[in-house]
Structure 1
Amino acid sequence: MVSSAHALARHSNLNASEVRNIAATSCALATLSVTACALASALAWRKRKSWEMVQEVIILILATDLGFCAQYLIVAPRPGSAACYAQAVGGQFFTLASMLWSAVVADVLVRLLVFQDDRAALARRRLPYHGLVWGVSLIGTILPAILGVYGPAGPWCWIDTSLGAPQAATVMRFGTVYLGIWASIAFQIWAFTKVRVVVRRSMALFDEVEELSTMEDSRKAAVDAGRRSLASAQRLFAFPLIILIARGVGTINRIHNWVNPGDDVAALYYLQAIPLASQGWMHAVFCVSGGLQSYIMARCCGGSRAPPPHERRPSKPEKQMSADPGFVDVDLGEVEMV
């Protein structure tokens, strides 16, 4: 690893020690992410008989996150080696796939909750979704290979834009990756803003329905099922926030690489590596733990602010206040029963 770190350092302004330390930091966090994604996927697999389209797409997000973070388990590969090429190709492919599947889950929720598409209409989109995501990811991975621009990129291997690299490398970085990343983020913010309005309105309606003492038991069961599904959908509001955290500094660092080629800054690489390698475990945590997501969203977005005292409803029994344990469980067919 020492000699390969020196070889990577020669392509940037980093020294060998910085290359080793940044790569080792990425590897440690990536190990946590790979483990978390695998465990979350295993939890979902246990519930596979009750899967809905939303859960299926989330499993694919976890799988692509696992693949993306696994590239960092290759620590400081030697430029030109098979390990370097594998890291570059794997990082490119799973970056694109992860971003696209994140956009798909937002699209699925918009179609179900905002546009009221039925399950049959959504099922017809399954193959087009797969074709679009895997097809675009594959094309975006093949193009840099054809142009021969995979190579050292700081402490790792990706698309090489170091001094002397062809201009096509910069075009590939921003044209195939960062444009897609920020388009995906913008779409998700738009989509989840729409979904948030519907969820909050539906939750308010459920509160009103629950106050009817004459409501039949079957109706109460439908309300509880709908509330659980919408509570699970609320967890997914964290996805755009996670991607912003994971990709924000990385974008700044790569713009800096473009503007000042050969003048790499170790601090920027650390700030890029830590959230990027953590993307997998952050997604896994929010898929499994509803309580943590609710806490952060309440602090960041004011999503759970307590109403004024005169507007507060009587406390519900403890069994109705239980939120949504386990894996994200969005069966929006249950919402339609109410």
Structure 2
Amino acid sequence: MEFTNESNYFNHTGVPECSLFPTDRVKCRALLYAKTVTASLSILGSVLTLGLVVLFKKYNEHSQRMIIHLSLAALVFGVAYVIQGIPSENNAICKVQASILQFSVCACLLWIMNIAFGIYFRVVYDINIKRYEKILTFLLWTLSLIITALPFSDNAYQPAGVWCWLRNDDAWRFGLWYCWRILSIVLFGYTMIHTEITIRRRRRGTFSTSITSLTAMESEIKTLRIYPILYFIVNIFPIINRIQNAAVQLREQTGYSFTLLLLQTLFDPLFGVTLSLAYVLDGTTRSRLNKAEITDALRRWRSKPAHVSVYRVPVPSPDMNISVINTHS
């Protein structure tokens, strides 16, 4: 009777079978709850970040536009997680979830590295990537689409644990994703260390940079640098879990470690949450989160912009002036 109730529960939630742990439905239920809660929080966090950027019209700044792209990728990432419960078969819904998930994780990584390298090139080489913003935006989103399309050539999108993603194939998972994720961590570490060394040298006077411009640059860097750091922190357990998947010969949906799956399920979708927390706790944003500032921002959105009209006053001709003078003479 107890088994029947649990079976009905999973049918109600859209998971007809729990092939991950068929003898322990409690583990499947825990994974399903964890995935739903964390993904929902990620969606809410991403929407909050986007809403604050739009509310205070901060999208006019280049750094804020990069955060917009990052938040959009995190939002799609959260949506991909809640498309279905724990997958039981390789159907159309599974492939939709897998492809959206692949697209969003690629976009997140590319925009994170865009922020990291933007900081690096500005400090070390005095190159502001703002001048290349349009072409970079096109390239990063297009590259995410291309990478997402590649696995369709080999039917590589299949059930992969608590969600659908790339099947447990080292060539696909590491060649298309984890090698690049690990490489990005190494590159991020190098760029941040080199950036910090360069700033310290400039403060000691090794480079001829004014204190005012250096302080302004450091303030913007401090705002942006937190996002790559948070991204790589929440990706520690997903990387460990996928390494375990590669080390253990998984067959279909069996052989997974419940502990690693739970940790990945809890941390993987949390980037949208950490993104919103970092944005809200930033000094500039936090100072505006009060009733007066929010009311004023809403008022500016509701009010119509003032239009200034220019009227041209005709200049009298010389003949007209003479005529007027003659009339009064």
**Equivalent residue letter for 1:280:** G
Identify the residue that residue 130 of structure 1 maps to in structure 2: 137
String of CA shifts for 1:259-295, please: whole Å, max 9, x gaps. Answer: 21131111110111111121111122112313xxxxx
Alpha-carbon separation, structure 2, partners of 1:42 and 1:97: 20
Partner letter of residue 157 of structure 1? C
Task: Mark the runs of 5 or more structure 2 residues left unpaired by the alignment.
Answer: 1-8, 288-329
Partner residue, 2:270:
278
Q: Which runs of 5+ in 1 are unaligned?
A: 162-168, 206-218, 291-323, 329-338
Note if contact 1:85-1:157 (Cα within 8 Å) is conserved in structure 2: yes
Within-5 A mapping of 1:321-336:
324-326=283-285
- 1:2 aligns with 10
Q: Provide the residue aligned with 2:233 in structure 1.
A: 245
Write out per-residue CA displacement over residues 90-110 of structure 1, whole angstroms, 9 at most, x where no aligned residue: 111100110010000111112
Query: Is the Cα contact below 8 Å between 1:13 and 1:263 reproduced in 2?
Result: no
Query: TM-score normalized by structure 1?
Result: 0.70
| 2:123 equivalent among 113, 117, 126 | 113
> What is the match of residue 40 of structure 1?
49
Letter in 2 for 1:105: I
Structure 2 CA distance for partners of 1:88 and 1:55, relative to 1, 3 Å: same
Q: 1:6, 1:16 within 8 Å by CA — same for their partners in 2? A: no
Aligned twin of 1:176: 176
1:77 shift after superposition: 4.2
Do structure 1's residue 188 and structure 2's residue 188 form an aligned pair?
Answer: yes
- The answer to whether the 8 A contact 1:5-1:19 is kept is no
- 1:225-282 CA distance string (max 9 Å, x none): 9746523421433334323322222112112112211311111101111111211111
Q: How many residues align?
A: 269
Structure 1 residue corresponding to 2:147, chosen from 140, 144, 155: 140
Query: Which of 53, 64, 81 is the matching residue for 2:73?
Result: 64
TM-fit CA distance, 1:135: 2.6
Partner of 1:152: 159
- Greater than 3 Å deviation, 4+ residue runs: 3-7, 11-17, 46-50, 197-205, 225-229
Q: Please say if residues 92 and 158 of structure 1, whose CA atoms lie closer than 8 Å, have aligned partners that are also in contact.
A: yes
Identical aligned pairs, as a percentage? 24
Q: Deviation at 1:83?
A: 2.8
TM-aligned CA deviation for residue 50 of structure 1: 6.4
Q: 1:90 to 1:14 in 2, by over 3 A?
A: farther
Paired residue secondary structure (2:158): strand
Equivalent AA in structure 1 for residue 180 of structure 2: G
Q: Distance in 1 between matches of 2:185 and 2:69?
A: 17
Name 2:94's counterpart in structure 1: 84
Q: Residue in 2 aligned with 1:321? A: none
SS across alignment from 2:126? coil
Asked if 1:31 is matched to 2:31, the reply is no
Contact 2:63–2:224 (CA under 8 A) maintained in structure 1: no
Superposition RMSD in Å: 2.9
Deviation at 1:76, TM superposition (A): 2.3
Indicate conservation of the 8 Å contact 1:76/1:156, yes or no: yes
8 Å CA contact 1:34, 1:69 repeated in 2: yes
Work out the CA distance in 1 between the residues paired with 2:103 and 2:52.
25
- For residues 202 and 171 of structure 1, do their structure 2 counterparts lie closer, same or farther at Cα, with a shift above 3 Å needed? same
- Taking the aligned partners of 1:202 and 1:327, their CA distance within structure 2 comes to 30
**Aligned match for 1:97, one of 83, 99, 107:** 107
Name which one, 1 or 2, has greater alpha-carbon Rg.
2
Question: In structure 2, what is the equivalent of residue 298 of structure 1?
Answer: none
TM-score, with structure 2 as normaliser: 0.72
Counterpart CA distance in 2 for 1:272 and 1:71 is: 15
In 2: Cα distance, 1:16 partner to 1:33 partner: 26
Cα deviation, residue 68, structure 1: 0.9
- Contact residue 30 and residue 73 of structure 1 kept, 8 A: yes
Change over 3 Å in CA distance of 1:5–1:16 after alignment to 2: farther
Q: Which letter maps to 2:197?
A: V
